[in-house]
Amino acid sequence: MKLIKYLLWILVLMVSLWFLLEFNKLNQPDGNAITIKIPFLEDMSGYENGFEAWRVLLMTLTAGVIIGFLLALFQIISQKSEVFSLKSKIRRIQTELNSLRNESIDDNIVITDEMDDSSL
Protein backbone atom coordinates (compact mmCIF):
# COMPACT_ATOMS: atom_id res chain seq x y z
CA MET A 1 0.00 0.00 0.00
CA LYS A 2 2.86 2.36 0.82
CA LEU A 3 4.47 1.58 -2.50
CA ILE A 4 1.30 2.57 -4.35
CA LYS A 5 1.11 5.80 -2.32
CA TYR A 6 4.73 6.67 -3.13
CA LEU A 7 4.20 5.92 -6.81
CA LEU A 8 1.13 8.13 -6.79
CA TRP A 9 3.07 11.01 -5.23
CA ILE A 10 5.88 10.61 -7.79
CA LEU A 11 3.26 10.72 -10.53
CA VAL A 12 1.76 13.91 -9.05
CA LEU A 13 5.22 15.51 -8.92
CA MET A 14 5.96 14.56 -12.52
CA VAL A 15 2.64 15.97 -13.69
CA SER A 16 3.33 19.17 -11.73
CA LEU A 17 6.74 19.57 -13.36
CA TRP A 18 5.23 18.94 -16.78
CA PHE A 19 2.54 21.55 -16.01
CA LEU A 20 5.19 24.12 -15.02
CA LEU A 21 7.19 23.50 -18.21
CA GLU A 22 4.09 23.86 -20.38
CA PHE A 23 3.05 26.94 -18.40
CA ASN A 24 6.43 28.49 -19.08
CA LYS A 25 6.20 27.71 -22.84
CA LEU A 26 2.72 29.22 -23.16
CA ASN A 27 3.57 32.43 -21.33
CA GLN A 28 6.41 33.65 -23.54
CA PRO A 29 5.03 36.28 -25.89
CA ASP A 30 7.73 37.64 -28.24
CA GLY A 31 10.18 35.09 -26.84
CA ASN A 32 10.39 36.76 -23.42
CA ALA A 33 8.96 35.08 -20.34
CA ILE A 34 6.25 36.92 -18.44
CA THR A 35 7.60 38.32 -15.20
CA ILE A 36 5.79 39.06 -11.96
CA LYS A 37 7.04 41.55 -9.41
CA ILE A 38 6.68 40.48 -5.79
CA PRO A 39 6.60 43.12 -3.05
CA PHE A 40 9.64 43.15 -0.73
CA LEU A 41 11.58 40.94 -3.15
CA GLU A 42 12.00 43.42 -5.99
CA ASP A 43 15.22 44.78 -4.45
CA MET A 44 17.04 41.48 -4.95
CA SER A 45 19.92 41.73 -7.38
CA GLY A 46 19.12 40.18 -10.72
CA TYR A 47 15.36 40.32 -10.16
CA GLU A 48 14.67 44.04 -10.52
CA ASN A 49 12.32 43.27 -13.43
CA GLY A 50 10.51 40.56 -11.48
CA PHE A 51 10.42 36.78 -11.32
CA GLU A 52 9.33 34.52 -14.15
CA ALA A 53 5.72 33.36 -13.78
CA TRP A 54 6.59 29.68 -13.33
CA ARG A 55 9.00 30.53 -10.49
CA VAL A 56 6.31 32.55 -8.70
CA LEU A 57 3.90 29.64 -9.07
CA LEU A 58 6.51 27.22 -7.72
CA MET A 59 7.35 29.52 -4.78
CA THR A 60 3.65 29.88 -3.93
CA LEU A 61 3.03 26.13 -4.00
CA THR A 62 6.16 25.47 -1.94
CA ALA A 63 5.18 28.08 0.66
CA GLY A 64 1.70 26.51 0.89
CA VAL A 65 3.14 23.05 1.41
CA ILE A 66 5.52 24.29 4.12
CA ILE A 67 2.76 26.20 5.93
CA GLY A 68 0.45 23.18 5.74
CA PHE A 69 3.23 20.94 7.07
CA LEU A 70 3.89 23.28 10.01
CA LEU A 71 0.19 23.47 10.88
CA ALA A 72 -0.11 19.70 10.76
CA LEU A 73 3.04 19.35 12.87
CA PHE A 74 1.64 21.63 15.58
CA GLN A 75 -1.64 19.69 15.59
CA ILE A 76 0.20 16.38 15.90
CA ILE A 77 2.33 17.68 18.77
CA SER A 78 -0.72 18.99 20.65
CA GLN A 79 -2.59 15.71 20.12
CA LYS A 80 0.41 13.70 21.34
CA SER A 81 0.70 15.82 24.48
CA GLU A 82 -3.03 15.41 25.16
CA VAL A 83 -2.77 11.64 24.72
CA PHE A 84 0.26 11.57 27.04
CA SER A 85 -1.59 13.50 29.76
CA LEU A 86 -4.68 11.27 29.43
CA LYS A 87 -2.52 8.14 29.68
CA SER A 88 -0.89 9.42 32.85
CA LYS A 89 -4.31 10.26 34.29
CA ILE A 90 -5.54 6.74 33.45
CA ARG A 91 -2.46 5.24 35.15
CA ARG A 92 -3.06 7.34 38.27
CA ILE A 93 -6.74 6.37 38.42
CA GLN A 94 -5.87 2.71 37.78
CA THR A 95 -3.45 2.63 40.72
CA GLU A 96 -6.06 4.29 42.92
CA LEU A 97 -8.65 1.72 41.86
CA ASN A 98 -6.23 -1.15 42.53
CA SER A 99 -5.44 0.20 45.98
CA LEU A 100 -9.16 0.44 46.76
CA ARG A 101 -9.70 -3.12 45.57
CA ASN A 102 -6.90 -4.42 47.77
CA GLU A 103 -8.03 -2.55 50.89
CA SER A 104 -9.41 -4.86 53.56
CA ILE A 105 -12.97 -4.46 54.76
CA ASP A 106 -13.30 -3.28 58.34
CA ASP A 107 -14.48 -6.14 60.61
CA ASN A 108 -16.12 -3.79 63.11
CA ILE A 109 -19.16 -3.22 60.94
CA VAL A 110 -22.34 -4.31 62.70
CA ILE A 111 -25.25 -5.21 60.50
CA THR A 112 -28.60 -5.00 62.21
CA ASP A 113 -31.99 -5.86 60.93
CA GLU A 114 -34.62 -3.59 62.31
CA MET A 115 -37.76 -5.37 61.37
CA ASP A 116 -40.83 -4.89 63.42
CA ASP A 117 -42.17 -8.15 64.94
CA SER A 118 -45.73 -7.07 64.40
CA SER A 119 -45.32 -7.16 60.66
CA LEU A 120 -44.77 -10.92 60.81
Residue 58 · residue 20 · CB < 8 Å: yes
Q: Is residue 95 part of a domain?
A: no
Q: For residue 118, what pLDDT is reported?
A: 61
Q: Is residue 61 part of a domain?
A: yes
pLDDT by residue (tens digit) across 9-55?
A: 889 888 988 888 888 888 777 778 788 888 877 777 877 788 888 88
Number of domains in the chain: 1
pLDDT band at 119 (very low <50, low <70, confident <90, very high): low
Compute the chain's Rg from CA coordinates. Answer: 35
Is the pLDDT reported for residue 105 higher than 80? no
Q: Is residue 6 part of a domain?
A: yes
For residues 105 and 96, give the distance between their C-alpha atoms in angstroms, rounded to a whole number. 16
pLDDT by residue (tens digit) across 71-104?
A: 999 999 999 999 999 999 999 999 988 888 877 7
| pTM of the predicted structure, to 2 decimals | 0.60
Domain span at 65: 2-71
Greatest Cα pair distance in the chain? 116
